[in-house]
Amino acid sequence: MNIPSWEHFYHQADIGVRGIARSRAGAFEQAALALSAVVCDPGLINASQVAELKATAPDDDMLLVAWLNEIVSEMSARGMLFGRFEVDLEDHALRGRAWGEPVNVARHQPAVEVKGATLTGVAVECDAAGVWRAQCVVDV
């Protein structure tokens, strides 16, 4: 397994996103990249503009959902796609940056619109090998 990485996982009606990394912050970054990959190939996104994002929550699971929903909100409000993320965590407060560009339908060929992150399948965990996984299902 390559670390850090992201992947999608099966869910009957929607799409699961999972971030995998050697740190909790890295897993949150990779989960955000998996979220972007639901919409289009992140490799097609020019990371030319930055958005500053914040999220807080009472625990890691809720923080992941808040973080991903903040990204969904910014994508919608700015008409942008993001292909690179950076996360700083302090307890259950997150400060993040997302780099991207305005949607170009011809180049990006967006597949679906993500409506939001859900509590379905939400988990932020570190295994015995020190690998963090951050996942949830997103509504499309």
Residue type, 72: V
Least confident segment among 14-18, 35-39, 51-55:
14-18
Using CA atoms, how far apart are residues 106 and 114, in angstroms rounded to an integer? Answer: 19
pTM of the model: 0.91
Among candidates 116, 135, 111, 112, which has minimal Cα distance to 125?
Answer: 135
CATH of the domain at 71: 3.55.10.10
Taking the alpha carbons at both ends of the chain, their separation in whole angstroms is 27
Domain tally, the chain: 1
User: Phi then psi for 3, rounded to 5 degrees?
Assistant: -125, 130
Among candidates 77, 79, 78, 89, which has minimal Cα distance to 31?
Answer: 89
State which residues form the domain around 41: 5-139
Using CA atoms, how far apart are residues 10 and 29, in angstroms rounded to an integer? Answer: 20
pLDDT at 6: 81
Among candidates 61, 59, 64, which has minimal Cα distance to 32?
Answer: 64
What is the number of alpha carbons within 13 Å of residue 125 lying toward its C-beta?
9
Q: Looking at the predicted structure, is the pLDDT value of residue 12 above 80?
A: no
Q: Looking at the predicted structure, is the pLDDT value of residue 74 above 90?
A: yes
Mean pLDDT of 67-75: 98
pLDDT at 112: 87
